[in-house]
Structures are given as C-alpha cells and as structure tokens.
Structure 1
C-alpha cells in the first residue's frame, strides 16, 4: 500500500513539474514577443508641398571697401599737425598730418646751395672748354691739354646732374612731411596726435577706405555657380547681375548688385568658390564689416517640391528624409536640395512629390521604425517658431 502511494505521489509531482515548466516557457515566450514588438513612435508628419516657387538662392557675406589703405609716413619725425576727426570723410589730396619739417627744410636748402655751386663750376669749365677748343683748332695748345679741359668740363656736368638728383630727393622728402589722402573716402579713428613720433614706412597713422561703391564677399558651391551663371530671373535679368541685398535687420537694400569678381579657383579645402558683388553706396549706409545676405533669383520653378528644413537629416555630407508609408513604417530616402524658401527646402531630386515626411521626431526613428503619425501643416511651422 505504501509502495502504491509513493508511486502515485511521484507521478503527480512529475506532472506538476512539467506543467510548471510549460508555464515558465510560455511566460518567457510572451516576454520575448513583447520585446520584438516595441511601441510605435509618435511623430509629426507633413505632405510634400508642390507649387510654383521662385528659385531664389541665398548666400551670406560681408561688406568690404572698394579700396582700403593703411597710411604711413615716408619720413620720420614728430607729428606737428593733424587735420581731421576720426570717421570724417576726406577728399583725395587733402592734408591729413604734417611731420616736423625743420630737418628736411635744412636738407632742401643745402641741396639747393650745392646745386648752385656745381652749376657755377660747370659754367666756368664750360667757358674754358670753349676757349681751349679754339686754341686747339689753331694748334696753340696740345691735344693733352685740350683733352684735360674737356674731361674737367664733363666731370662738372656730371656733378650738376648729381646735385640735381640730391635736390629732387630733398624736395620729395620735404613734400612727404605732409601726409595726404590717396583717394576720397572715410578715415578711421586714430590715436596718434600732435607730438607723437612716427617712423618712416612703419608707423600706421590711420586707415582709409573708399565705400562707394562697396563689395560684398561671399561663397557658393561649384554646382550653384554653374547653375546661376546661366540662369535668368523671370524678367530676363542674369541671376548674377541682379542680386538683392538683405541687411542684418531684415531690411532690403535699395538697388541691385552685380558679381564683378570671381576667384581664380575652387577652394581645395572647402570646395567653394569665392565671389564679390558690387553695390552702389551713395548714402553711405553700407560699412565695411557689415553682415549681409545676398539673394540671386534664378526664375520660377513650376510645380516645385518643397519640404520643411527640419525634416532633413544630414549624414556623411548627404541629405536624407524619412517617409511614412500606408503601413506607418518608415523608409529613408536621399534627396538633392536646391535653394532655401523661408523655412523650406526646394527639392531637386529624390522624391516623387506624393510622400509623407517625418518632420518632428526625426532623431527618434530609423528605417523600418513603426510610427504613430500626427499630421501638421505649413502654417504650423511658423506657429511653432513663435512659441
């Protein structure tokens, strides 16, 4: 009897352990199933926008003076006069500084005296040469005497030329004691004033710049340059000859600019080409160093595809967007972008135009992710930026 009881109890225990094992296995299976099926990611999406769009390329740049010069004195000495205020507009040839003239005036007087003495000596020897020439023709003096007088006259003539050069140099130095504006323009503020000593060719007295017209220095990619060099606006103007200038406060500068300088090569490190555009500056509103945005109008793109800038993800110098399919699964597509249009990018290639894009939550998804999309509109882009 005891043996039968033990056999039944052993069988019951074995069945219980087997059932427990199945339950544990089933529990583990359910956990694995839950891990393989993560919750859908909440994102905001938008349809690709399609409409006729001005193809306006925008570039950032800085204002440069047409001409700029650092003024230095050609003579050394103390400043004895300063005839402008910092920031003044000065005219070409206007006297800006005077340097102590006493030494240079003495050198000038000495050079004048030396030249006068040399000319007197030359005149005396020239008269002797005339007399000896006649005497030689009459065989009254020897050839040796005649040649000696002629050599003395020629030497005196050379001395006159040498003293003329000394006088000219003294006159130049005397003139250089007045530092004049090399062109018309605006002059910088200067800490140098009367009494300061300046070294010839070393001490910068002030900086001048001619700011009408001015140039805007900016860069663009090789592909943009190739496109814009042959593009025209809807009015027929060449894209690089009808540039608009937007100032840092958002105001549009009156008047169009034209590219008049293109660098000789593409930058090896940046792959960009440097250009300069010329703008008139009659009211002196533009100043060197100012930040500016240039806009080049390349005409209207019919039925253009536009996508939000925040929908674009950059990886390894390539641009990608995440699209959402009818099954709410995410796919990744590489796109080629054109000009900026407000908060949007103009798409040149990579999309068909009927895609739904992930706009908010781009960093949370990958190809194959399941998402829970919430639609947003173009107006929402502006509203969110104000919040």
Structure 2
C-alpha cells in the first residue's frame, strides 16, 4: 500500500523543478543569445596628392620651331679667273671684311694698265685740242679763221673730253675688278664647308671649271663683262642669292650670333598675340627648348610676324631673335618654342590630373585635417600643358588629390600615400 508524500515535500519538489527549468532556460538563453556586433571601421582609400601653391605664372603659346641663321650669305666670285688661294678654315669664325679667297689678279692688273694708258693718251689729246681751240678763238677774233673752223675745233675738244670720261670709267671698272679678285666676307659669321678648291676656274655667274686656262681668264677680264657678278647674297636660306641665277659658290657664311627661330601659330592664337603685345608694339618673350630633354636652350624676343595668314594651313609665321651666346642653337635645328602671352602674378597652380569634370562642372577633391575627401567646385583661368591655373575654389596650401579620385565620393576616408612637393605637376 503506497504511502502518500506530505504536502510540504511536494511543494518543495515543485519549486526545485521550476528553479531547475528556469536555470536551464537561462543557460540556454545565455548560450544561444549572441551580442550585436559593431560594424568594422571603414578602410581609408590610398591616394596621391599635391599641395596647391601660389606662384608667378606665364601663359604661353607653344609651337614647333626651326633655327636658322640670322643672315646667310652664299659667297660667289665677282670676276672670272683661276682661284689661287682660300684663306679660311672650314667651320671657323670669320669677320666682316676678312679675305676668304683670291682669284688670280694678273689679268685684271693688265687690263687696268691698259685702261690707265688709254686714259693718259686721251688726256694728252684733249690737252692739245684745247690749245688748238684757244688759237682758233684768237684767229677768229682777228679774222684769220672762219666760224666753221672754230666750231669744228670746239667739236674736237668735246669729243676728246668724252673719250677721257670713258677712259676714266674704264679705269674705275678695272680697279673695281681688281679689288674683286680678293673675295671678302660681308658679315661676321661662321664659315661652312669649302665648296671650291684652289686651282679651279671660277666665274662671275657661279660656274666652276677644274681645267685651268689663264688665257680664258684674261679674255674674260674685260671691264665690260667682269663686274656683273655678286660676291654674296643675304637671305633667309643658303639656296637663294641675288647676284647669280645658279652655280656653285665658294662657301656659305652663316651668322649665328644672333640667330633666328621661325615658327607658326594658328590664326586664333595670333589674335591673342596681337592683343597681348599691343599690335606688336611691345616685345614678347620667347623660350627655345630642346626637343629631346626639354632643357631651355636660350631666351629671346619676338622680332617679326608675317603680313598674311597662310590660307592653306590657317597659320601665321613668326620669327624670334636669340642672342645665342653659348651657340646652343644651330641653323637647321628643330626646337620647342614657348611664346609668353600674359604674366599672372601669384597664380594658384595645380596639376591638370587633379581636375575632374562632373555634371555640374569641374571640381577637385580636397583632403582635410580629418583625412576625409571633400568635393570642391573650381573655375580655371587656363590650362597649359600638364598644369591648370585656378581662378576660384582652391587656395594656396590646400592638399589636392591627383591620383585615386575615381573611387572617391564626398566624405570618403583617405590615406595620402604620396604627397608630391609643392610645384610638382603630380603623377
């Protein structure tokens, strides 16, 4: 027979069972419940940046230019004859008036002697005719000579005077041809490669013969035909000349101090140059730089602008003058030309790579003290090469993102992995 448990014991067991269930529930809740995790902090985006700076900046027009001699003279003989001497060293500096070469002067000395002899003979004849004229004048006054005889004697005197004047011209021409036997440099410059060797026959028309023939030189030494040549021709290139239609010269002398650089600019840029120079009344600075290294070779000024626009290319040719003290510019050399148009003092300059374009215009990303990127709208004055000149939106000292901005948004956390030095165009 089962004995019934006391009531107080049943209540105790019930409480213990409830407490155990509660403990189990609390343990299960503690085990199963996970505390809420905090979101991980954002990773900063690595970027490259540069610090904006204020500096004097010059707006310029750039072009490809070619250096050429300021004056280029092709030296020709002005008389025909045998070239007996060349007095210059190839590639050497020559002075204006320096004797470069000599033509055999003997045929021209002979012609001068003949002309001086003829002059003396005709002067003697003129003196006799004048004495006869005085006698006829006295006789005619006394009735011893007719009027016709007197007029005939006056005509003889006039004829002899004309002969003397002709002879004097022949003497002057012979002396001039004799001077032309010494071929002089018309300018200070640098001699090129010798084009004719001594022993060749040279001609006033530029032709050269290797067959020595002094008799032909003597026959061509007549005053009427030997001074028609030209010893030199100042031009913009060695191929043109004013004293000869062709043929070989003796040497080309190029003036390289100063030297010229010619280049062309578009018609639109040409209008800017006119405004910047006041119609070319003020000189504009020009820099010539090496095409290989970008090094500035020399600085000069704009000296001339062509008087027309080339309709085929829509450009205007310009010419700049360089002192060229170090002779770093050489005729025929191609250089990069930068023509200054406007000076901008204390301009804010940043790399062009920092400038972005959005639907509302141009902007940059500024890096603040909290390392967060901020979009900043900007306005530009001009873009020149890899550099942008800022009108508004950026001040000196601002840190501007130059690389990595494609993944940035306003407020992005950034890490400046590379800060370029001030004034650097950036990566």
Q: Same fold (TM over 0.5)?
A: yes
Question: Secondary structure of the residue that 2:307 maps to in structure 1?
Answer: coil
Cα distance per residue 1:140-189 (max 9 Å; x no partner):
10001111111111101110011111111111111111110011111111
Contact 1:307/1:347 (<8 A) preserved: no
**2:393 is the alignment partner of 1:340:** no
- Indicate how the Cα distance of structure 1 residues 303 and 145 shifts in structure 2: closer, same or farther if over 3 A, else same: same
- Indicate how the Cα distance of structure 1 residues 304 and 285 shifts in structure 2: closer, same or farther if over 3 A, else same: closer
Question: Secondary structure of the residue that 1:294 maps to in structure 2?
Answer: strand
**2:100 is the alignment partner of 1:56:** no
Contact 2:348/2:390 (<8 A) preserved: no
Q: Which runs of 4+ in 1 moved over 4 A?
A: 49-53, 301-308, 321-325, 336-339, 344-348
**2:287 is the alignment partner of 1:247:** no
**Residue in structure 1 matching 2:113, options 109, 113, 133:** 109
Give 1:65's aligned residue.
69
Q: C-alpha distance in 1, partners of 2:142/2:390?
A: 104
**2:185 is the alignment partner of 1:181:** yes
Deviation for aligned residue 1:304:
7.4
What's the TM-score, normalizing by structure 2?
A: 0.59
Question: Secondary structure of the residue that 1:204 maps to in structure 2?
Answer: coil
**2:218 is the alignment partner of 1:218:** no
Deviation for aligned residue 1:303:
6.0
Question: Secondary structure of the residue that 1:147 maps to in structure 2?
Answer: helix
**Residue in structure 2 matching 1:197, options 196, 201, 205:** 201
Give 1:279's aligned residue.
322
Give the paired residue count.
299
Give 1:290's aligned residue.
333
- Indicate how the Cα distance of structure 1 residues 204 and 90 shifts in structure 2: closer, same or farther if over 3 A, else same: same
Following superposition of structure 1 onto structure 2, how do residues 13-92 of structure 1 map, counting pairs within 5 Å? 54-57=57-60, 58-92=62-96
- Indicate how the Cα distance of structure 1 residues 217 and 101 shifts in structure 2: closer, same or farther if over 3 A, else same: same
Deviation for aligned residue 1:136:
1.2
Question: Secondary structure of the residue that 2:311 maps to in structure 1?
Answer: coil
**2:312 is the alignment partner of 1:269:** yes
Deviation for aligned residue 1:250:
2.6
Contact 2:297/2:328 (<8 A) preserved: no
- Indicate how the Cα distance of structure 1 residues 283 and 51 shifts in structure 2: closer, same or farther if over 3 A, else same: closer
Contact 1:220/1:272 (<8 A) preserved: yes
Q: C-alpha distance in 1, partners of 2:273/2:334?
A: 22
Contact 2:77/2:250 (<8 A) preserved: yes
**2:171 is the alignment partner of 1:167:** yes
Contact 2:350/2:389 (<8 A) preserved: yes
**Residue in structure 2 matching 1:206, options 234, 245, 251:** 251
Structure 1 or 2, whichever has the larger Rg, is 2
- Indicate how the Cα distance of structure 1 residues 267 and 345 shifts in structure 2: closer, same or farther if over 3 A, else same: farther
What's the TM-score, normalizing by structure 1?
A: 0.65
Q: C-alpha distance in 2, partners of 1:114/1:106?
A: 12
Contact 2:126/2:160 (<8 A) preserved: yes
Following superposition of structure 1 onto structure 2, how do residues 98-177 of structure 1 map, counting pairs within 5 Å? 98-177=102-181
- Indicate how the Cα distance of structure 1 residues 125 and 378 shifts in structure 2: closer, same or farther if over 3 A, else same: farther
Deviation for aligned residue 1:299:
2.6
Contact 1:228/1:240 (<8 A) preserved: no
- Indicate how the Cα distance of structure 1 residues 147 and 339 shifts in structure 2: closer, same or farther if over 3 A, else same: farther
Contact 1:73/1:199 (<8 A) preserved: yes
Q: C-alpha distance in 2, partners of 1:378/1:66?
A: 47
- Root-mean-square deviation (Å): 4.2
Deviation for aligned residue 1:80:
0.2
Q: Which has the higher helix share?
A: 1
- Indicate how the Cα distance of structure 1 residues 94 and 126 shifts in structure 2: closer, same or farther if over 3 A, else same: same
